[in-house]
Structure 1
């Protein structure tokens, strides 16, 4: 029956593809344009947009092609922000809608629109008109046909919506606060450093003390004391409240947000003193959830003054990561602590609103959302309006978010002064921006609203009695930054940004990613002190040697095997160089073993808790308390048992002979569809999978998912930009440009992405291969206005 259904759906998909394929050749007359625009799609489906009269026309065309190629993605993304998934997906999406409505992502987006500059508003209006012009062409995405609905017209606020979800995915630690409260309850305050080790004092920071020498922050004033003792936060959350908070986290993970610990991004910039050309090279690869279609959409925009190329996000009217004619930039996540959970005292003033959630085929659901002065009460779900009332305070929910102004400004930046002025408008999520320009300058800035706390570090829920209030934000001029550092190298890999000499706190010392990737990148780039080329930088970006294995090797190889199969697996690891290639057997053994060890704290906490590698290593080296199993045992026994569990798992999946345990059979990328990825009859059509190299904390991060070994997160986009000749720059996405599962560009980048090959990031038509051109001309009424 399923086979028949699949065949029917396959035939239907082919028919829909034939009838829904957008126009990519010829000429279209569209209302809202000021002048003619040419859209030339290159061999890989990347549009090169050329507008003669205005920059607004170029952005109009971007909206048009975004809707042509990614209509479903755009509509799904705005439905997520609005909390309107149940309208089209039914009751299964209600937990997600409750989470989204409670947090108020859409309300925050609505409050941001009036705060934007006139230039941004003009571009958003043009983009909105372009999207709606694309919608008016009548081509309907397959997902709309399957679910049986017609999308609403695009609005200006829709172009701000998805940035709020990105801010959630990249900019908060409320999950850490929930876990921290659980850890303190079970293990005491000392357990926080056991479960999540602080960033090592000897590990590299993005900026050195010397580079911060010109940044002299003014410490904040005294904190106002509250009626309760101000030296310790109140972490006494009852289990029902913790479960209610966890319900939000679970809903977010169902949406693919904050799903994997340790996911990370890399970017770096080399000054001309380190390159063969004498000009900078800038590299970036943001690591996010991999999906079908992919998040990013490669595009080349040119108007009279707007000339930007790189990665856009369908729904947003600008290039997010990339370059223009003079300046290149890249981003990784800083992950400062910009969220706090407040336990509101009895008598605290609360307001309430009712959210009406429409559900497909079912009666509507009415959701009562309460708010305090700190923000929405996020403990009501599941627990009801009983027990402690826990409110969320978060920079991204505050009014006046001008982050869109910042990204628009980057597209136009001509030099470091323009670049930093644009970033003054940046709010959330705080990112590590690396910079380079054609004059040979390099730099770094970490912009955004980062709260100033005094007397507490934000790692645990605190009382909302007034004793733990933010003391404003770190002033923009005093945020971490450097310009033309003396050593000519800036490396960011989600590691700690600043040394202890920095006067402000960016968050508690457990917030940062482990230093493995930053150390490995620095090591590889420093091994050749001068003369680095574009290809050398690409090899670093694609590196799959595990620095985690280097640290774990002495400990793991002292393990006493508990069976013959464990002995054979251990013998295979002894001579391994740590390179996690697709054909490596050792990579399978190591990652399976590491997966077992990451669960070291689960018996103590009685819940799924994934420790990071550094925390596990600290326990194994020191004979830590978390090595106990049900109150008994030691680390040596944990090593024996975890190896036995790992090889038993591999045997059940790949057979009894370890020589057959090649990594590519186990570890495959899972670029799955957000709505249909788990529907058996549809998954084959929408999902894309293939063996991939890399693993936990390799530079080319490809952490296997627990239980499946799938790679669900990774380098969602890669770019390497050569400032000596911009058109020699390269980029690549994780899947393809086309949102239709049968489109010619649905997945044509994936093979190159896995193999470590790139596309030309060029504005020169001679680099575009076979092309198809569409002429967009203004309607008569628009031309004569």
Structure 2
């Protein structure tokens, strides 16, 4: 205990120093913070030191039993679903209250209330994108169409609020104390906000950048550098699938007049490199025990407290276990007695931009065809800690909110850009997961997915009966080719989304002949699919490595699937490094240090294991090479997106003397060889500096995987220098700040056999021994036993609590 006390005192001291030196808001009063009865001292105890055998939840209809295993994973046993979700709300808040509230404040654009005006621009952007508006529409949808789900959300909120009402000042999470505010009431609206927040985290668009590139490069060169479909796709739905439906005709306008300008303002933040995911399921015919096996590992930001919170939920009808999102009901990725499921991001372009032409300066009407349509105004009051509130007026059109205008990021140009996004359409994603939690078969799975609108996800499925399936689900607009790829003219009705693809025509497969289904954020389908499919950010490496391994494997076991999730093979390096070495030639044969590095690269087996040095050399060299090739793109003076790594490598492999490699304004004609040699020299310079300052350049040391507190300034509550391999674009996609946020493997026999882990711990309290205890397990590619528990099971019980 004394060590925990010392470390937490040190952490708080460092955090306060950071706050004072780099404040994110007014520094809290120091006296209450160090008060031994109410301050941070009270957050030094772990949950097993604060056991409460009974807790009062007056709104329950029946007592609920909560059994904690040795990892502080709660197993909740309730007589009915309303009690179950109330208990889930209470227990989740008990361990993750601050995280729940912080994330929904971020989703609502309310961070300025607690950290001051440093967050004002972020709050404005969040509100202008309409996340709160989307959650409001979600509430309206539930009130009109699904009162049952709304009642469950109310039960969950009641559980959270009963915990808040019982929360003493001393036991208030330490982040509230540091930031000097108190928790507020939870509502169903906040649960919906959380799901909209996830959609915003996972969706991207490049309409602005593609519009600029089309103007600069011309349509022909744009198509060459940025093809909608790569030459050899290995899509989510198996290539060559025959679609057994009659496609809805879509009419492309005879003439398309895109806004003919380049635009300077900064685009919306995009999902960062490393956000993605893997999932797959293998059929009984390919497994040793004759049972289907399912695996899922979502790749998101590596944060503390973890994005996920593990638990089991049990009623007399079903038991479900897996990873939940603190603030949302049920299990998001998990299994029950009959099925297992998991999700990856489908990377589908689901938001489009329209240039709005207002009738006058008052912006009360905008042009649409031959008429002027009225706008509506939404005044966003953003409260700021220690200051007057900021009022931001957002104009709404039938497309959606005008995000960019004269009042926001339009100062360099006269812009009025409206955002159309499926998040603004009223939906019920919460019901999808509630139905999946108690689903029994493939039919139930499909019924559950019919409720899911955004963000687009690849839902993998396996059942005890032996079925495996994959469905790409979301509300997808029916578009003509290239619609939504560029900024569109909002005054032209021909630019409208025409209708939506029916759910039963979304890409999906059941029990394919190859014996497996898999997704890794790659293209969803091949060219046989009858509808236009586009996104800028499809994956090209993890998918081919996973599919290649699954094709080769037979007599598959759970251990095989664990090993594949932790696979460190650097597919990209294996495909381009030999060509880079060949193009380099003997240019550095007289340089001893260069020869040392080249020897390591030539002997490399392409596995990015933590102790290997070659991955560091390749990573730096490749990034310098990529940067050199597309350096001239930085000189365009407007936002653009550079060709992706896969397409760049195709040029290096197949057209090393292509015009794209030539640097204008030089007397010579540069080829790929020139860029390879120059970038190698750059790598030598960078490595010399690195070794001088840091010494060992083993891969784990260089990439410095860090699991960061949700408030980045709270560095004392983060964990850096996690010793693990992998990297972006690798199946084990563990980079510096992103990676497998949850790993799960489930075999569906007579009883499911399950394993899972995530990089954090069950507790949200930095002073608890359960705050980060999973990290070493996760970093080594190991797992926790995740089997379903019976209420009477005594083995491995940490403690038990009765709610009544």
Shared fold (TM-score, shorter chain, > 0.5): yes
Contact 2:303 2:708 in 1 (8 A): yes
**Displacement after TM superposition at 1:383 (Å):** 1.6
- Name the residue aligned to 1:328: 340
- Name the residue aligned to 1:640: 677
- Name the residue aligned to 1:254: none
Measured against aligned partners, the alpha-carbon deviations of 1:594-641 in whole angstroms (never above 9, x if no partner) come to 222343424323368565321221232323444344544332121112
Deviates more, 1:643-652 or 1:325-334: 643-652
**Displacement after TM superposition at 1:167 (Å):** 1.1
User: Where in structure 2 are the equivalents of 1:397-546 lying within 5 Å?
Assistant: 397-398=424-425, 400-464=426-490, 465-507=492-534, 510-514=536-540, 516-528=541-553, 530-546=554-570
- Name the residue aligned to 1:255: none
* CA spacing shift, 1:551–1:771, aligned 2, 3 Å: same
* CA spacing shift, 1:739–1:657, aligned 2, 3 Å: closer
Contact 1:279 1:724 in 2 (8 A): yes
Q: Distance between the aligned counterparts of 1:295 and 1:235, measured in 2? A: 42
Contact 1:545 1:578 in 2 (8 A): yes
Q: Distance between the aligned counterparts of 1:768 and 1:434, measured in 2? A: 32
Note if 1:584 corresponds to 2:608: no
Contact 2:352 2:484 in 1 (8 A): yes
* CA spacing shift, 1:262–1:298, aligned 2, 3 Å: closer
Q: Distance between the aligned counterparts of 1:685 and 1:499, measured in 2? A: 45
Measured against aligned partners, the alpha-carbon deviations of 1:409-464 in whole angstroms (never above 9, x if no partner) come to 11121111111011111111111111111111111111210011125332111111
- Name the residue aligned to 2:154: 125
**Displacement after TM superposition at 1:696 (Å):** 3.1
| Secondary structure of residue in 1 paired with 2:603 | coil
Q: Distance between the aligned counterparts of 2:376 and 2:413, measured in 1? A: 16
* CA spacing shift, 1:333–1:670, aligned 2, 3 Å: same
User: Where in structure 2 are the equivalents of 1:166-177 lying within 5 Å?
Assistant: 166-173=198-205, 176-177=206-207
Q: Distance between the aligned counterparts of 2:309 and 2:12, measured in 1? A: 34
Note if 1:570 corresponds to 2:594: no
Q: Distance between the aligned counterparts of 1:11 and 1:665, measured in 2? A: 36
| Secondary structure of residue in 2 paired with 1:577 | coil
Measured against aligned partners, the alpha-carbon deviations of 1:12-56 in whole angstroms (never above 9, x if no partner) come to 8750314796954311121111111111111111111111x2121
Q: Distance between the aligned counterparts of 1:702 and 1:626, measured in 2? A: 32
Task: Select which of 10, 14, 34 maps to 1:6.
Answer: 14
Q: Distance between the aligned counterparts of 1:132 and 1:394, measured in 2? A: 32
The alignment's TM-score, normalised by the length of structure 2, stands at 0.87
Stretches of structure 1 that go unaligned for 5 or more consecutive residues are 250-257, 704-710, 778-785
Measured against aligned partners, the alpha-carbon deviations of 1:313-357 in whole angstroms (never above 9, x if no partner) come to 000011011011111101111111111111123532433222111
**Displacement after TM superposition at 1:657 (Å):** 11
Contact 2:616 2:698 in 1 (8 A): yes
Cα RMSD after superposing both structures: 2.5
Contact 1:50 1:58 in 2 (8 A): yes
Contact 1:619 1:627 in 2 (8 A): no
* CA spacing shift, 1:217–1:738, aligned 2, 3 Å: farther
Measured against aligned partners, the alpha-carbon deviations of 1:640-685 in whole angstroms (never above 9, x if no partner) come to 1212222322322233999x3211211222211222x2x3xx4123
Note if 1:64 corresponds to 2:94: no
Deviates more, 1:623-632 or 1:310-319: 623-632
Contact 2:104 2:197 in 1 (8 A): no
* CA spacing shift, 1:714–1:20, aligned 2, 3 Å: closer
* CA spacing shift, 1:3–1:498, aligned 2, 3 Å: closer
| Secondary structure of residue in 2 paired with 1:308 | strand
Q: Distance between the aligned counterparts of 1:566 and 1:190, measured in 2? A: 40
| Secondary structure of residue in 2 paired with 1:762 | coil
Q: Distance between the aligned counterparts of 2:117 and 2:795, measured in 1? A: 46
Note if 1:723 corresponds to 2:752: no
Measured against aligned partners, the alpha-carbon deviations of 1:695-745 in whole angstroms (never above 9, x if no partner) come to 231111134xxxxxxx11111101101001544210111211111112111
Note if 1:152 corresponds to 2:180: no
* CA spacing shift, 1:743–1:11, aligned 2, 3 Å: farther
Q: Distance between the aligned counterparts of 2:412 and 2:569, measured in 1? A: 51
Measured against aligned partners, the alpha-carbon deviations of 1:383-429 in whole angstroms (never above 9, x if no partner) come to 2596131111011112x211111111111211111110111111111
Contact 2:344 2:457 in 1 (8 A): yes
Contact 2:459 2:470 in 1 (8 A): yes
User: Where in structure 2 are the equivalents of 1:375-414 lying within 5 Å?
Assistant: 375-380=400-405, 381-384=408-411, 387-398=414-425, 400-414=426-440
- Name the residue aligned to 1:707: none
Contact 2:337 2:752 in 1 (8 A): no
Contact 2:274 2:300 in 1 (8 A): no
Deviates more, 1:5-14 or 1:322-331: 5-14
Contact 1:598 1:612 in 2 (8 A): no
Task: Select which of 158, 166, 170 maps to 1:137.
Answer: 166
Q: Distance between the aligned counterparts of 1:583 and 1:199, measured in 2? A: 37
Contact 1:718 1:731 in 2 (8 A): yes
User: Where in structure 2 are the equivalents of 1:158-197 lying within 5 Å?
Assistant: 158-173=190-205, 176-193=206-223, 196=226
Note if 1:201 corresponds to 2:237: no
Contact 1:292 1:688 in 2 (8 A): no
**Displacement after TM superposition at 1:526 (Å):** 2.2
**Displacement after TM superposition at 1:767 (Å):** 9.1
| Secondary structure of residue in 1 paired with 2:276 | coil
- Name the residue aligned to 1:696: 728
| Secondary structure of residue in 1 paired with 2:575 | helix
- Name the residue aligned to 1:219: 248
Contact 2:700 2:721 in 1 (8 A): no
Q: Distance between the aligned counterparts of 2:795 and 2:651, measured in 1? A: 53
Q: Distance between the aligned counterparts of 1:505 and 1:412, measured in 2? A: 34
* CA spacing shift, 1:3–1:207, aligned 2, 3 Å: closer
Q: Distance between the aligned counterparts of 1:95 and 1:128, measured in 2? A: 30
Task: Select which of 764, 767, 773 maps to 2:789.
Answer: 764
* CA spacing shift, 1:54–1:372, aligned 2, 3 Å: same
| Secondary structure of residue in 2 paired with 1:64 | helix
- Name the residue aligned to 1:780: none
Q: Distance between the aligned counterparts of 1:163 and 1:266, measured in 2? A: 20
Q: Distance between the aligned counterparts of 2:720 and 2:581, measured in 1? A: 37
* CA spacing shift, 1:283–1:663, aligned 2, 3 Å: same
* CA spacing shift, 1:739–1:610, aligned 2, 3 Å: farther
Contact 2:240 2:528 in 1 (8 A): no
**Displacement after TM superposition at 1:163 (Å):** 0.8
Q: Distance between the aligned counterparts of 1:3 and 1:294, measured in 2? A: 19
Note if 1:650 corresponds to 2:687: yes
- Name the residue aligned to 1:274: 286
Note if 1:668 corresponds to 2:696: no
Q: Distance between the aligned counterparts of 2:642 and 2:466, measured in 1? A: 43
- Name the residue aligned to 2:302: 290
Note if 1:739 corresponds to 2:739: no
Contact 2:210 2:641 in 1 (8 A): no
Q: Distance between the aligned counterparts of 1:307 and 1:73, measured in 2? A: 26
